Structure 1
Amino acid sequence: MSNKKQLVTIKGTKEGLSIFIDEACSFEEAMADLQEKINAIRPKEYEPIVSVHVKLGNRYLLESQEKELREILNHKSRFYIESINSNVILKEDALKWKENSEIKAVRKIVRSGQVLEITGDLLLIGDVNPGGKVVSTGNVYILGNLYGIAHAGAAGDRKAIIAASYMKPTQLRIADYISRAPDYESDGVYMECGLIDEEQDKIVIDRIQVLSRNRREISGFERRILNG
């Protein structure tokens, strides 16, 4: 009986195949074992292309290594990579992720003509006056009055939201969606949020409590705002 260690494990799922690559062996050894196994199970030309999810564990792939992996699992071999998952990322990517997901707290009044731009989520403790503007790549939370312009998800995040203690904005923007003053009640609204309603294909204003239902991925910080 062979005691050869399994460097690559292939399991069938409802979504296709899951391929687990041993994280301790060399990349060259893993690819040789993968090629051997793929040759043994390759579908016939008349069979459908099989979707594959690759699990790397604590292994990071260089760009050249990912290219080699994709060359083994390509349409010619009757496979298609749906995802490549690794527990490891580069330090620069981790720092970028941290910056983009961090909540930046700012205490000030954004006056007419001023623009406050933030990477990540913005928590503004203060007002945005008419003619003032706040821009964030993430969510915008305003513990104060929103009279000016607020732009959330500025890098394209359509799941971003805008919440304010008192909302009577000149304009709301989320990603590439724009909503202007006529969309809101003339007297303004208290403790409301703006978010994209995909069915209506526009920004809508709703009670802040709907975030726990419509944005389930919200962080613990946001839950504390909602629940007090």
Structure 2
Amino acid sequence: MLAKNQFVTIKGTRDGLTLYLNDTCDVDRLLEELDHMLMSEHFDHEESLVTITVQLGKRYLHTGEREKLESIISKRSHFVIQSIESDVVLKEDAIRWKEESEIRTFSKTIRSGQVIDIVGDVLLIGDINPGGTLKATGNIFVLGHLRGTAHAGHTGDKNAVIMASYMNPMQLRIADFFSRSPDYESDGVYMEGAYVEDSGKIMIDRLHVVAKKRPDLSGFERSVLNG
């Protein structure tokens, strides 16, 4: 089914209805036309629940406009809004996404009692001493000795990884999962990484193995993993 008016196009799919709203006209005229279309006899006689996806194109709706759009759709009791999608990205969202996708590089030693908290991925050129902590919302790469605590994906990203030139940590954390250092004496291992496996355990393995486990890592990250 494909219903079209001057500013609104409604396309029926097996998943429900998609409303394509013109992004060049006045928003009040657009919402008025949408309200008129949804009041048509065809839509009023729908009995089963219908999911609605709204495509705004290159238009951003302010809070009041969005609420009016939702009200127009929701007053038809058989309509359920699944999503309202726009090609417009707000400046603050763009800045946040950029920060989260960037790799921040530091050259220092994180000493006992110090806690460094990073947004995005972090490449530390230096050591994490026992009692020191490095946290990141993304992946952690340590070109040095990891003897302290590293917490990757600390906002909940369980696909994050932790890499170190020398791995002998007091504790590893990825999202809400953690792994403590062994009770026995350990000399640590060189060029290894940690990831969360499907069972929910943090595993430590060679870098090329971790790269295969996380194929969605960026090109720079993969170059760090593969040497």
SS for the counterpart of 2:54 is strand
Asked if structure 2 preserves the Cα contact closer than 8 Å seen for 1:163 and 1:194, the reply is yes
Residues 148-202 of structure 1: per-residue CA shift (max 9 Å, x gap): 10011222222322122222211111222222113999443333322222x3123
The alpha-carbon distance between structure 1 residues 42 and 191, as it changes in their structure 2 partners (threshold 3 A), is farther
SS for the counterpart of 1:127 is coil
Q: CA RMSD in A?
A: 2.6
State which drifts further: 200-209 or 159-168.
200-209
Residues 1-228 of structure 1: pairs in structure 2 closer than 5 A: 6-40=6-40, 41-42=42-43, 44=45, 46-47=47-48, 49-74=49-74, 76-182=76-182, 186-197=186-197, 199-228=198-227
CA drift at 1:75: 7.6
TM-score of the pair, normalised by structure 2:
0.85
TM-score of the pair, normalised by structure 1:
0.84
Asked if structure 1 preserves the Cα contact closer than 8 Å seen for 2:194 and 2:210, the reply is no
Give, in whole Å, the separation in 2 of the partners of 1:217 and 1:63: 35
Q: Identity over aligned residues, as a percent?
A: 50
Give, in whole Å, the separation in 1 of the partners of 2:44 and 2:139: 46
The alpha-carbon distance between structure 1 residues 85 and 46, as it changes in their structure 2 partners (threshold 3 A), is closer
- Residue type of the partner of 2:65? Q
Aligned residues: 223
Residues 15-69 of structure 1: per-residue CA shift (max 9 Å, x gap): 332221111111112212222232334375641x222222212111112222222
- Residue type of the partner of 2:15? E
SS for the counterpart of 1:24 is coil
Asked if structure 2 preserves the Cα contact closer than 8 Å seen for 1:42 and 1:77, the reply is no
SS for the counterpart of 1:141 is strand
Give, in whole Å, the separation in 2 of the partners of 1:175 and 1:26: 45
Which residues of structure 1 form unaligned runs of 5+? none
CA drift at 1:206: 3.2
Asked if structure 2 preserves the Cα contact closer than 8 Å seen for 1:18 and 1:53, the reply is yes
Residues 80-122 of structure 1: per-residue CA shift (max 9 Å, x gap): 2222221212222222222222211001111222222212211
Give, in whole Å, the separation in 2 of the partners of 1:183 and 1:37: 69
CA drift at 1:211: 4.6
